[in-house]
């Protein structure tokens, strides 16, 4: 059974940006909440002060999202 992935547009955008660039850091408190939500799902991880990177699971999800965008 396939589990449906539910992400907000902000979460999708951030995950895809990190997939393309490899890392990122939150710009403000609202942006930080998006990072925290993705970290709870184990899609990204905190690397060092202010720096985050995508996890292998996050990379898999980002690949699925890009494939989904190409099909639409």
Q: Which segments of the chain are extended strands (E)?
A: 23-24, 44-48, 51-54
Please write the tens of the pLDDT for every residue from 37-65: 999 999 999 988 878 999 999 999 999 98
| pTM, full prediction | 0.82
Pick the closest to residue 19 from 67, 29, 71 (CA basis).
Answer: 67
**3-state SS record for 41-58:** CCCEEEEECCEEEECHHH
At 69 the pLDDT is 67
Whether pLDDT at 66 is above 90: no
Please write the tens of the pLDDT for every residue from 19-34: 998 888 888 888 889 9
DSSP 8-state class, residue 28: S
Task: Check if the beta carbon of residue 52 is closer than 8 Å to that of residue 18.
Answer: yes
């Amino acid at each position: 059974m396939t589990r449906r992935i539910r992400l907000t547009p902000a979460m999708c955008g951030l995950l895809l940006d990190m997939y393309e660039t490899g890392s990122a850091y939150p710009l403000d408190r609202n942006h930080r909440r998006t990072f925290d939500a993705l970290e709870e799902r184990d899609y990204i991880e905190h690397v060092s002060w202010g720096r985050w990177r995508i996890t292998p699971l996050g990379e898999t999800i980002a690949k699925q999202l890009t494939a989904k965008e190409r099909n639409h």
